[in-house]
Amino acid sequence: MGYKVFVDGQEGTTGLKIFDYISKIPELDILTIESDKRKEPAARSRLLNEADIVFLCLPDAAAKESVELVTNTKTKIINTSSVFRTDPSWVFGLPELKNQRDAIRTATRLSVPGCHATGFILSVRPLVDAGVLPSDYPVSCYSVTGYSGGGRSKIRVYEDAEAVAAGKLDVPRHYALQQNHKHLPEMKMYAGLAYEPIFTPIIANYAQGQAMSIPLTSRYLHKNVTAQHVHELLSAYYDSEPFVRVMPYNSEVFLDDGYFPITACNNTNKLEIFVFGREDRFQIVSRYDNLGKGASGAAIQNLNLMLGFDERNCLE
């Protein structure tokens, strides 16, 4: 008899992708709910408490409600919303952080990182840990992402025939300009920073794929490091990781006629880190699928660890 798994919010973008993944894992028995009952607390409560593992693919308020509906001590929860990510009683599901896998393996309450936060933390935390990037460095960053990261509502907007015909969505659009993006608290906490970064997210008219860029100036870093030193440090930190790869230093080979191909990691759980620029002024760029390592793929990676499977199971 396999592990019973329930996806609460299985009809959303992240939920559908998770459902597709778990359908390919023979050790799992998938519990489902009828569409007309998915908002009924009693029906959801029965499945939430019957399951060994629950994925919450819901808005923040609904995710809180689902957690309250779990009344037993056996059900493990993997939450994909932002609501519990900085809660100390929940494990942050980013296995590539040092010593985090042990916490994930024994977790009963786990939060999957936000898509923007994933690339940011994986780029910054090793530098803070090494004493290269001061924790009070005034970090700024920007992230370009496909519209699927906004869920079904954004997908409807960007795939609406009238909006497309009007040309309103042809250009990239900056948002959260008041520095109120919901990923900022986890970006600060798990990158080891004293202050939240200045963050500019940008949504563009393509479905999926993401690039997080972080510019740095070497004269404000500790230990007199150069861009190449930073590259070597990141390479050593992720040397044995199955999904995170630091690409060769400052290489034009990975550009397309000088342009950065954002979508090269689509439909995978890979995250690739690049260091581009001059010795004194450079930027770290991470590339990944906002629906893969930025959401559903990361959720499955954590599931594998929590159930004692190979963490690459179903992801390669």
Q: Return the active site residues.
A: 115
User: Pick from 143, 94, 142: which is nearest to 122 by CA?
Assistant: 94
- Other C-beta atoms closer than 10 Å to the C-beta of 295 total 26
Question: Going along the chain, which residue ranges are E strands?
Answer: 3-8, 28-31, 53-56, 76-79, 91-92, 109-111, 140-146, 173-174, 198-204, 210-217, 244-246, 271-277, 281-288
- Identity of residue 276: F
Task: Find out whether 286 and 294 touch, Cβ atoms under 8 Å.
Answer: no
Secondary structure element (H or E) that encloses residue 126, with its range: helix 115-129
The encoded tokens of residue 23 equal: 């359908």
297: CB partners within 8 A, 6+ apart: 21, 268, 269, 289, 291, 315
Task: Find out whether 4 and 27 touch, Cβ atoms under 8 Å.
Answer: no
Counting Cβ atoms within 10 Å, is residue 197 exposed (0-12), middle (13-18) or buried (19+)? buried
User: Pick from 291, 265, 298, 282: which is nearest to 16 by CA?
Assistant: 291
